[in-house]
Amino acid sequence: MADVVIAGGGPAGRALARACARRGLATVLIDPAPARRWQATYGLWADELPSLPASAVACAPSTTLAFGTGPHALDRQYLVADNDGLREWLSGGYDVVAGTVSEVVPGRLGSSVRLADGRAFAAGVVFDVSGDRRILSGGTPKGSRYEQTAFGAVLPAEDALRLVDCPDAAVFMDWRGTESGFLYLLPLGDGTVLVEETSLARKPGLPLELLAARLRARLAAAGLDSRGREERVRIVLDVGVPRRGPVVPFGVAAGLVHPATGYSVATSVRLADPVAAAVAGAWDRGPAEIATAARRALWPSSARTVHELRRHGLRALCGMPPELVPVFFDLFFSLPIGLQRAFTSGREDVSGTTEAMTALFRRAPWPVRRHLIGWPGRRGLLRSG
Ligand SMILES: Cc1cc2nc3c(=O)[nH]c(=O)nc-3n(C[C@H](O)[C@H](O)[C@H](O)COP(=O)(O)OP(=O)(O)OC[C@H]3O[C@@H](n4cnc5c(N)ncnc54)[C@H](O)[C@@H]3O)c2cc1C
């Protein structure tokens, strides 16, 4: 019998498996294709994961830029993960099993995890880290959801210079030239640049074909075409915060996605150790208490409050007329960097998140303010989502 079974071998599953193993817990990670390479290009802020080793970084661009209606140089290092290096860093100390988890049967002393091929694994605690499939936590979110969608192409770095004339820059957002989406540019560290036409948040997400057509038009206008690798992004932004139950979700499955940015990798990696520590600390108190301790470590009340504030930010942005969105981002990227960091990365930082939202409101012209007053904290002016 294992102490911990983890269903899902993406970045979150592997981070959690490593953290549990380091806490002395016998850990088994199950994934249908554990050797499959991660295809997505993962970006993160360096200050979110100070422990990341150089081997897990493909590129650390020299400059981070953002454009609303005008340019902003951000005093914050952005990183592109080296997926193989990241995976290697998150390996070791746990068993990896190739298999498809199909169900969990909870019992008094733990749970039995059943695989599609009939195998079963007993464990003290089971984590569902299967991404937005949420195979053991209610399935893929149903109905129309807020989604971030993007279509990207990989270009030689010299071609990308025709889009943003700044070599070796990560462009977090460029709203110039289009109001209903932005361009994201990321040097990949191998002489190429990922150029992504992105729809920040929409319910439902903007179709990928439309984004692909926009990207091709944008490239054609700059005298470019795309023949390299392509990237398709669809991230559900409003995965719910998990309720009680014997299976503990983690990663995207646990709603760790930032509702206004779509990011989750750094958060999942950072939270793996506190969650593993909670499991180890509650170990002698039995399966129900272990699961409760893990959930508390994942979603302390401060994180729930920040999550709600971020969700209000998401709704305010989605309700804004397209021509005001670049103005909103001019305001956001003019905030002191500490406040920008608080909003994008301060998951338990209630006061920092509130301060960032309030500071932006104070600086905003009335046409923007009108769309922000649905944010909480403006008593009497709340509107329904
Ligand atoms: C193209 C793309 C780019 C993204 N870029 C970023 C970014 O730059 N920064 C960022 O922070 N986030 C980004 N995201 C969002 C998010 O962080 C990623 O989706 C990330 O991979 C989520 O990690 P995860 O481990 O929670 O889930 P996943 O990576 O989705 O991993 C889930 C794992 O569960 C496995 N699984 C599925 N079904 C079963 C089953 N029945 N039994 C066992 N295992 C199962 C899958 O095989 C998979 O390995 C991006 C997403 C996409 C799609």
Q: Each residue's pLDDT tens digit in the chain (385 positions)?
A: 999 999 999 999 999 999 999 999 999 999 999 999 999 999 999 999 999 999 999 999 999 999 999 999 999 999 999 999 999 999 999 999 999 999 999 988 899 999 999 999 999 999 999 999 999 998 887 888 999 999 999 999 999 999 998 889 999 999 997 767 999 999 999 999 999 999 999 999 999 999 999 999 999 999 998 888 999 999 999 887 877 888 999 999 999 999 989 999 999 999 999 999 999 999 999 999 999 999 999 999 999 999 999 999 999 999 899 999 999 999 999 999 999 999 999 999 999 999 999 999 999 999 999 998 865 444 433 333 2
Please check whether residues 25 and 105 belong to one and the same domain.
yes
Ligand 1 pocket: which of 265, 268, 269, 275 to mutate (most atoms within 8 A of CB):
265
Whether residues 22 and 54 share a domain: the answer is yes
Ligand 1 pocket residue status of 27, Cβ below 6 Å: no
Same domain, 272 and 335: no
Q: Are residues 13 and 134 in the same domain?
A: yes
The whole-number pLDDT of residue 241 equals 80
Q: Is residue 306 part of a domain?
A: no
Ligand 1 and 250: CB distance under 6 A: no
In a domain, 382, yes or no: no
Strand partners of residue 5: 28, 126
Kindly state whether residue 55 falls inside one of the protein's structural domains. Answer: yes
Among candidate residues 186, 211, 236, the one where a domain is terminated = 236
**What integer pLDDT is reported at residue 143 of this predicted model?**
82
Q: Quick check: is 378 in a domain?
A: no
pLDDT of residue 39: 96
Dist. CA 327 → ligand 1 center (Å): 32
The CATH number of the domain where 224 resides is what? 3.30.70
What the block records as the tokens of 144 is: 């129309």
Cβ 2 vs Cβ 155: under 8 Å: no
Q: Specify the ligand 1 atom closest to the Cα of 43.
A: 8
Strand order in the sheet with 182-187: 71-74, 63-67, 169-174, 182-187, 192-202, 147-156, 230-236
Q: Is the same domain home to 19 and 119? A: yes
The parent domain of residue 368 ranges over 320-372
Q: How many domains does the chain have?
A: 3
Same domain as 251, residue 226: no
Could you tell me the pTM of the whole model? 0.95
Q: Which of the listed residues 37, 78, 130 should we mutate to test ligand 1's pocket, taking the one with most ligand atoms within 8 A of CB? A: 130
